[in-house]
Structure 1
Amino acid sequence: MRELRSRWSALAAGIEAATPAGRDRAVDALRALAILGVVLGHWLVTSLTAADGGLRGTSPLSHMPWLAPVSWVFQTLAVFFLVGGHVAALGYTSARERGTSYGAWVGQRLGRLFRPVAAVLVLWTVVAGGMLVGGAELDTVRTLVKLVLSPLWFLLVFAALTVATPLVARLSPVWPAVVVAGVDGWRFGLGGPEWIGWANVAAGWLVPFTLGAAWSRGALARRGRLLLLVGGAATATATLVLWGGYPASMVGVPGAPVSNLNPPTLAAVAFGLVQCGLALLARDRLARLMRRPSAWAKAALVNLSAMTVFLWHQTAMMAVTALGLLVPVRLPGLHTPPDSLGWTAARVVWLPVFAASLGLCWAAFRTHERARRSRPAAVTAARCVPRTSVEEKLHA
């Protein structure tokens, strides 16, 4: 134990030394919290039950709708888009000042997003093909592949907004919010076609993205303005859920007639603004916390492999679930229907196992998140994290 503490202290010291002096560490802390919120949320509200020799996807929110507040804590994508808009706006401005072309800037940013995707697609193409050849049920394979690919929609939207940064960086968040309200009014109030709701995929996530860009310009520095944002958005969310007919859950629930997330609704956008406001209110406290080398090292390490963690967390959960099928009985919280508090308690017990499985995925695939280098990178004192990787990726 003492040796582990010593190695961790050395690693934290190495990351501390490699971090630029002027770096806004609170931004990285918010990004890390957003990614971990999504991961834990998926692990808590996604269930694969064993049925008829295969696996079927379901959710405890279908059986226990009163657990909807869980989604309020772990549906943190709005914070990720907030940070993304902030970083993209600052990065593009900095690139222009350095004389870097738009093509070079956007190519670098998209490379960080999509390099790790190729490994996921290749592995699951092989796994899905092998399962079908081996006689697995088509519904089982479809369920698993859907869980793996479902996070990719987020990357596509995030990439599109990143590409559009020069056009949207100075756009007021009010305008995309108005689009979302108009689409919802047409869709739910006037009986418009369901497909029109997908316009909100861009407009809905553009709201926190442009809010992040406004943050980069210093427009959200006043605490009073943030308190007004949180109070107004919270009131709007409560009104929409209690009297507007919107679901209380901020994630999709299998079998529900309306999802707040697919596509985003006005309720999801209002709730996301609450989260963004709270995140911005907490940034000074986070900045103080991140001055501690140990706390900063944890946030930095999540950021160094953010896409790897995001892309492989569902695979990690499914690997544990599949291996559990080798046991002759159904394991509570893993294969049993998510219809009781007992299942919820058992699922919490499984979270460290999912995390260990994700750690193995991280060890195997994290190299795909770093750009290839012609020479080996120097290694920190703990000999775990390439120092050049820290210096390059902990930039924004």
Structure 2
Amino acid sequence: MTSPISAYRSLAARIDAATPPQRDRAIDALRAFAILGVVLGHWLVTALVLDSGKLKDSSPLQHLPQLDWVSWLFQTLAVFFLVGGHVAARSYAAAQARGTGYGTWLAARFARLTRPVAAVLVVWAVVAGALLLSGVSTATVVMLVKLVLSPLWFLLVFAALTAATPLVRKLHPLWPLAVVLYVDVARFGFHQPGWLGWINLPAGWLVPYCLGAAWAREGMSSRRTGWVLLLGGAVATVLLVRYAGYPASMVGVPGQGISNLNPPTLASVTFGLAQCGAALLLLGPLRRWLARPGAWALVALVNLSAMTIFLWHQTAMIATTALGLLIAGGPVVGLHTPPDTTAWVLARLLWLPAFATVLAGCWAAFRHYEQPRRPRSARRRSHVVRFSHGAKSDARSTDGHKVAT
């Protein structure tokens, strides 16, 4: 009987052998890092507190502000937009070279988004209806649905920037950065209406997206650029937090007057620039590490299910919380109790493997919605995972992966 380790080594060897030598594996590693950072961040800073028979959302950052720095480790969206801009710009340039029209190119980019999102919406429509019919309060159901669907704002912004790639791929990142600066000066310096901040929703994420496009266009991966972005962004962020009144947390905190993320502020954008600089500096070490088949297989497999992981991670946390309440018959530390002590934080860390286990179950049930539909005969004939960077020869992938398992 083959051991799990031997089976994984065999799979890793097949994935490694099927990967074209020109593929930049570090790009995939950065994307995987960004997705997993968001997942872990949500699991660590989101709490469902049992209060008078109802579940309410809370956050340890409300009660333990000394943990604000944790959000600096797990708010990794800027890296995702950096990679997204880089891959989309390369893909569109390759499509132009082949004579592929914009509509065909965009349909291929969007193909991997629609079915996984539709699956989440359908499942949660059924779950929400069932909860309401079983007597769960409307406020609790709304809160749960909001937790599941709120991360979709990121996909909407990403889809909009992807659609605008032909227009923005030559835009200098300083232009959207200037927009963010002027909007924040108007909001906080001259007390203009708060709704102006929503201009920063596209402008703020356009900064790393344009940076990624510039990277694709100019090969902007030198260590000097990386250090300038890392140090400049980090210093600017610290100064904005220390002297300009921006929150230290890089994620939204319930009850906090200003959020760095919703909508993005200048502090979140400068922090994102620092992350982008760190990403560029990590390219070399990542490429050397990913030359190992075992390491590369892990990154490749995460990328193949990135949408599934992202879309279902909040559901996994909610399901674990509900099961814990049913099994224990009352509040459990780290799941249902107020996140106001270090004991809660330690308990939540111990619950992370349970969240991951339930997420694995969600992955097994719904990963097929992320993969392309193929004829049954083709599924029987295909036994390898193939990867190709850049533009796609068909609409089976949107991020550089062509999959056949």
Identify whether the pair has TM-score above 0.5, normalized to the shorter chain.
yes
Partner SS for 1:34: helix
Structure 2 residue 257 is matched with structure 1 residue 257: yes
Cα distance in structure 1, aligned partners of 2:7 and 2:359: 21
Judge conservation of contact 1:370–1:389 (CA < 8 Å) in 2: no
Q: 1:289 to 1:388 in 2, by over 3 A?
A: closer
Judge conservation of contact 2:34–2:77 (CA < 8 Å) in 1: yes
Judge conservation of contact 1:251–1:260 (CA < 8 Å) in 2: yes
Judge conservation of contact 2:20–2:387 (CA < 8 Å) in 1: no
Judge conservation of contact 1:233–1:273 (CA < 8 Å) in 2: yes
RMSD: 1.6
Judge conservation of contact 2:128–2:145 (CA < 8 Å) in 1: yes
Partner of 1:369: 370
Cα distance in structure 1, aligned partners of 2:164 and 2:8: 40
Q: 1:377 to 1:41 in 2, by over 3 A?
A: farther
Cα distance in structure 1, aligned partners of 2:209 and 2:353: 32
Structure 2 residue 331 is matched with structure 1 residue 330: yes
Partner of 2:238: 238
Judge conservation of contact 2:240–2:267 (CA < 8 Å) in 1: yes
Q: 1:38 to 1:290 in 2, by over 3 A?
A: same
AA aligned to 1:351 is: L
Judge conservation of contact 2:15–2:386 (CA < 8 Å) in 1: no
Partner of 1:93: 93
Deviation track 1:122-150 (CA, whole Å, cap 9, x = no partner) reads 00000001111111011110110000101
Give the Å deviation of 1:190.
0.7
Q: How does 1:308-387 map to 2 (within 5 A)?
A: 308-326=308-326, 327-378=328-379, 387=384
Partner of 1:128: 128
AA aligned to 1:387 is: V
Judge conservation of contact 2:204–2:269 (CA < 8 Å) in 1: yes
Cα distance in structure 1, aligned partners of 2:383 and 2:305: 12
1:395 maps to which of 369, 388, 400: 400
Worse-matched range after superposition: 350-359 or 216-225: 216-225
Partner of 1:42: 42
Cα distance in structure 1, aligned partners of 2:221 and 2:73: 25
Deviation track 1:93-152 (CA, whole Å, cap 9, x = no partner) reads 011111111101111111112220000000000000111111101111011000010111
Worse-matched range after superposition: 207-216 or 386-395: 386-395
Partner of 2:83: 83
Judge conservation of contact 2:183–2:196 (CA < 8 Å) in 1: yes
Q: 1:376 to 1:333 in 2, by over 3 A?
A: farther
Q: How does 1:167-206 map to 2 (within 5 A)?
A: 167-206=167-206
Q: 1:47 to 1:379 in 2, by over 3 A?
A: farther
Q: How does 1:138-157 map to 2 (within 5 A)?
A: 138-157=138-157
Partner SS for 2:376: coil
Partner of 1:271: 271
Judge conservation of contact 1:116–1:369 (CA < 8 Å) in 2: yes
Give the Å deviation of 1:221.
2.9
AA aligned to 2:43 is: W
Partner of 1:225: 225
- Where structure 2 has 5 or more consecutive residues not aligned to the other structure, the ranges are 389-395
Give the Å deviation of 1:40.
0.2
Aligned residue pairs: how many? 392
Cα distance in structure 1, aligned partners of 2:56 and 2:378: 44
Q: 1:362 to 1:240 in 2, by over 3 A?
A: same
AA aligned to 2:184 is: D
Partner SS for 1:358: helix
Cα distance in structure 2, aligned partners of 1:366 and 1:275: 29
Partner SS for 1:330: coil
Identical counterparts, % of pairs: 60
Cα distance in structure 2, aligned partners of 1:376 and 1:44: 44
Cα distance in structure 2, aligned partners of 1:390 and 1:170: 27
Cα distance in structure 2, aligned partners of 1:18 and 1:360: 27
Partner of 2:392: none
AA aligned to 2:13 is: A
- Where structure 1 has 5 or more consecutive residues not aligned to the other structure, the ranges are none
**TM-score, scaled relative to structure 2:** 0.94
Worse-matched range after superposition: 194-203 or 322-331: 322-331
AA aligned to 2:143 is: T
Q: 1:376 to 1:322 in 2, by over 3 A?
A: farther
